[in-house]
Amino acid sequence: MSDEGIGAYLNPAQMSKLNRLALNSRYVVEGTLAGRHRSAQKGASTEFADHRSYMPGDDLKRVDWKVLGRTDKYYIRRYQDETNLRVYLLVDRSGSMNYTSGEHKTKFNYACTLAAALGYVVLKSRDAVGMYIYGEKMDAALPCKNSFNELNNALKILQGYKPAKGTAGADVMHQIAESISRRAMVIIISDLLDDQPEIIKAIAHFRKNHHDVIVFHTLDPVELSLDIRRGAEFEDLETGERMIADPRAMAKEYKDLMGAFIEDYRKSCSEMKVDYRLVKTDEPVDTFVRAYLEERKRLSR
């Protein structure tokens, strides 16, 4: 197995688990190719959409003769267009993503693996996948392609990045929201450790542009529980600030704060009809993706 590209993140066994899965959009999308996702455009398909009055120049084959017989007026039958899905993966490589409690991957590595898994699923469904990598700024913007080679190249590029020092997640997300012109699916893979209201605004920006947004809030288990048994001098991964603390003494307060932080994101996402998922880095990626997609499929019925 190659150590580059998708092979660096997923092994064949994991890929085979993901083979029959599909990532469906909950909203209409605007693709460039014909596909199995509902399009905002009317076009040629078997699924009836609506009628409109006949206008000179329209193809006579599309006149609804039955309606003409009943109403003595000319109407054109319109059909729902079906197009392919464009999925944009936003991978956060801010400084805080460089954290691991020791037993698992860093959050950044996990995010990369998750991006690879999702990209693989999307391409298997003959949809297109693009990628944005950002840290303190927009690092890379890879356009949507429905080719495994393109995904492989994108992942190689991702592999070349290390976590940055700081973060500018909200600004970059606004920038990305502006750059995606047509309705698509946006998947944000980040720990969201930035200015929370600004991040929420950025997510809202995507929704404003009619994108189907999924947020994978990626966190290390220790970040959630503060299960650290010894006091130490803690150094912030982004600001470099240090403090001496005994985690045992303040675990309860910490967990309260962290719980409130997560709950705020969850509530905001729910209000914006954004699919929010908390992902812990101790969960196997393939299992998580599989469980998530199955659940999404079940809920969309």
Partner 1 sequence: MLVFANPMFLWALTAAGIPLMLHMFQRRKTVVTPFPTLRFLKAAQKRSSSRIKFENFMLWLLRTLLLIMLGLAFALPVLRTTAGGSWLTRTRRDVAIVLDASYSMNYELDRGKVWDVCKEASVGVIEGLLSGDRVCVYVAADTPIPVIEKPTTEHATVVQAIRALPCLPGSSKLDETVALALHALEQQEGRREREIYIMTDGQAVPWQGFRDAAKKEEKAGAADKAAISREQRDKVSFFALLAGALQPDNACPSDVKVTPALLLAGQSARLNVRVARTGTAKQITVAVEVDGQERGRRGITADADAESSLEFAIGGLEPGIHVAKVTTPQDALPDDNEFLFLLRVRKQLPVLIAGPKEATRYLKAALAPGAADDSVKQVEAAELESVDLRDYQAVFLCDVFPLAGQSVMRIEEYAKTGGVVIVFPGDRADTAAYADMKILPAQPKGTVDIPVELAARPLKRIPNQKDQVVNFNLSLPPGTVPTVALKRVLTLGELQENAAVLVTAGDGVPFMTGRAVGRGRVFMFAVAANRDWSTFPLTAFFVPVVHQLIRQGAGASVQPTHLVPGSNIPANESIPNYREDDAIATPSGAQLAVKDNGNRTFFIESLTEPGIYTRAKAGAAQPEPVLAVNTDRFESRLTPITPQELTEWTGFKKLLTAKDPEELTRLIDEYRNGRSLAEVFLWIALLLSLLEWWFANRALRTQTGATEKMTVDLAGKVVTS
Least distance in Å: CB of 220 to partner 1? 8
Q: Which is nearer to partner 1, 90 or 97 (CB)?
A: 97
Among 149, 249, 284, 297, binds partner 1 (CB under 8 A): 249
Q: Which stretch binds partner 1 (CB under 8 A): 75-83, 133-141, 143-151, 221-229?
A: 221-229
Answer yes or no whether residue 280 interacts with partner 1 by CB under 8 A.
Answer: yes
Contact between 254 and partner 1 by CB under 8 A: the answer reads: yes
Question: Closest Cα partner for 289 from 2, 20, 6?
Answer: 20
- In sequence order, what DSSP letters do the residues of 141-182 get, joined into one string? EEEEE--HHHHHHHHHHHHH----SS--HHHHHHHHHHH--S
Contact with partner 1 (CB under 8 A): which of 40, 67, 140, 224? Answer: 224
Amino acid 199 reads I
Contact between 242 and partner 1 by CB under 8 A: the answer reads: yes
Whichever of 128 and 203 has its CB closer to partner 1, that residue is 203
Find the shortest distance in angstroms from Cβ 251 to partner 1: 4
State the binding string over 141-170 for partner 1 (x if CB under 8 A, else -).
------------------------------
Q: Return the residue of 99, 120, 134, 206 that touches partner 1, per CB under 8 A.
A: 99
CA distances from 80 to 43, 46, 51 (A): 6, 8, 11
Q: Report the residue from 278, 284, 287, 297 that binds partner 1 according to the rule CB under 8 A.
A: 278
By CB under 8 A, residue 201 contacts partner 1: no
| Minimum distance, C-beta of residue 270 to partner 1, in the bound complex (Å) | 8
Buried b (16+ CB within 10 A) or exposed e, 73-100: eebbbeebbbbbbbbbbbbbbbbbbbbb
Q: Measure the CA–CA gap between 112 and 109, rounded to whole angstroms.
A: 5
CB burial of residue 204 (10 Å; 0-12, 13-18, 19+): middle
At 210, list the tokens.
């009619």
Taking the C-alpha atoms of residue 247 and residue 49, their distance in angstroms, rounded to an integer, is 60
C-alpha separations of 166 from 23, 94, 162, 198, 239 in Å? 32, 6, 12, 16, 7
Q: Is 264 in the site for partner 1 (CB under 8 A)?
A: no
Q: Give the interface with partner 1 as residue ranges (CB under 8 A).
A: 95-99, 107, 191, 193, 217, 220-221, 223-230, 232-239, 241-259, 261-263, 266, 269, 276-280, 291, 295
